[in-house]
Amino acid sequence: MMGKVWLVGAGPGDPGLFTIKGREVLEQAQVVVYDRLVGEGVLNLIPRQAETIDAGKRAGNHTMPQEKINQVLLEKALEGKRVVRLKGGDPFLFGRGGEELALLAEQGVPYEVVPGVTSAFAVPAYCGIPVTHREFASSVHVITGHKKAGEQLQLDFKSLARLSGTLVFLMGVSAIPEICQGLLEAGMEPQMPAALLQQGTGAAQKKIITDLEHLPAKVKEQGVHLPAIFMTGRVCVLGNEFDWYEQLPLSGRKILVTRPIERSGTLSRRLRGLGAEVLELPAIRTELIENNQRLTEELERLAAYHYLVFTSPAGVDLFFRELKRQGKDIRALGTARLAAIGRGTRKELEERGLICTIMPEIYDGKHLGILLGETCQTGERLLIPRAEQGNPQLIEEIEKRVSVEITDLPIYRTVYENPNELIDEKKQIENGQIHMAVFTSASTVRGFAAAVQGLDYSLVHAVCIGAQTEAAAKKLGMRTKTAKKADLDSLVEACVNAAENLNIQEADHLWN
């Protein structure tokens, strides 16, 4: 059976700029051939079971020649595989996408093209530079600045100098002196605004705004970090006025989120919305305990319980999935009152049309136990469907206060995830590229430790959701900050506060 190839543009880096269709195609891929310019947030979307092939393709560092890439796409498709060729930006804008399709078309292999958001427009936008503006430029021109070693640029500088619009040069950082000199000699005014835009749409975004005459010297003085583009045109001056992205409270911060993959989305979106570059490391996952005879038996007699106590959103989800699988619905709960450890767990119940009437002000097992101990009547029955290794304080605090019948029912276990081999989180922490890590449970701390074995944990700035999570982080030697309340709003607020205080060179005294 013949396979198929999808040529997919991954955008400029920020996974929020990856298209919906691109994500849908990627999630179904069996083979992914990716470039170095693909953002880490998009790489994290590659299915774990997919075969991944690094094609390299960053300036001066080509892991695989273009002819070999073309051949790999053909071979994998002929094996009957769903193949995604994942390319930074847009595959048809200096991406050699047409070359990659030529061999497929010749061999009759089916293919599709999924356009991507080009860095030529997205990176200037994130730097506050509109590539067109009625008062400054009515046209934009995208030009490749790439040249082979030892060869001269094949650019018509006289024609470019006569253009009144914006010039955006891709893959031309090494040729900046030559391009600027060529434009000046062709008659472009030395005071024409110019900008170098580095690592756009991510935490390391940086820009240099000057003029055509002084750009090469400024770049040499400050250095360049790839990927980068440069541009000329009167619109460049607006980058200082419309500097929106770098004004966001978490701009310039790269944050590691360690929640289970099924629960990381909301937190990651919140942090990205505040300007952070988010790298997801699902350190743990939760899985239902299979062939759980005790759970089957308890689901048959739910109506006998006065209270159902849930200690995590995952517990709610797995409990009601199993209830449904056994052919039951919420009517099986009878008149039991519902208790939740915190707002996230309560929300999971509410989404199923269930009202939680018992929730502590401090969201942890100890305080939930205290509240239940003060609420329950002697002889009442409580069912606690939760993790295999549950917090013992919950039951201890109940039993200190009232004599009740408690059924502590393990329904799921926490499993440590293998890290994504395409991204080296340990190295990034050691290099200071990851500024903080967010932990939502002690389990995520332990899962993270398992994923980055050998790391000096004192390098980790940990933002923790609660005291137990903080204790686990401190035990490893991490520097910590803890949310005021054990909920998502407070956790995000703690990240913002940490970012305000976190000077990368002088942070030690600000962390516990």
Pairing type for strands 254-257 and 277-280 reads parallel
Numbered ranges of CATH 3.40.1010.10 in the chain: 4-117
Q: Could you tell me if 22 and 114 are in contact, meaning their C-beta atoms sit under 8 angstroms apart?
A: yes
Structure tokens at 332: 């099986």
- Please state, in angstroms and rounded to a whole number, the distance separating the CA atoms of residues 419 and 282: 8
pLDDT of 149 reads 62
Pairing type for strands 206-211 and 193-198 reads antiparallel
Could you tell me the fold of the domain covering 4-117?
Cobalt-precorrin-4 Transmethylase; domain 1 (3.40.1010)
pLDDT of 506 reads 47
Could you tell me the fold of the domain covering 287-416?
Rossmann fold (3.40.50)
Numbered ranges of CATH 3.40.50.10090 in the chain: 254-283+417-510, 287-416
- Per-residue exposure over 186-213, b if at least 16 CB sit within 10 Å of its own CB, e if not: eebeeebbbbbbbbbbbbebbbbbbbbb
> What CATH number was assigned to the domain covering residues 121-247?
3.30.950.10
Q: Is-cis flag, bond preceding 227, omega within 30?
A: yes
In whole angstroms, how large is the CA radius of gyration of the chain? 28
pLDDT of 501 reads 78
pLDDT in tens, 161-173: 999 899 999 988 8
pLDDT of 368 reads 96
Numbered ranges of CATH 3.30.950.10 in the chain: 121-247
Show the low-confidence residues of the chain (pLDDT under 70). Answer: 57-62, 147-151, 261-264, 503-512
Show which residues are catalytic.
35, 57
- Please state, in angstroms and rounded to a whole number, the distance separating the CA atoms of residues 441 and 284: 10
pLDDT of 179 reads 95
- Please state, in angstroms and rounded to a whole number, the distance separating the CA atoms of residues 169 and 190: 18
> What CATH number was assigned to the domain covering residues 254-283+417-510?
3.40.50.10090
Residue 471, Cβ neighbours under 10 Å: how many?
14
DSSP assignments along 268-337, one per residue: HHHHHHTT-EEEE---EEEEEPTT-HHHHHHHHTGGG-SEEEE--HHHHHHHHHHHHHTT--GGGGTT-E
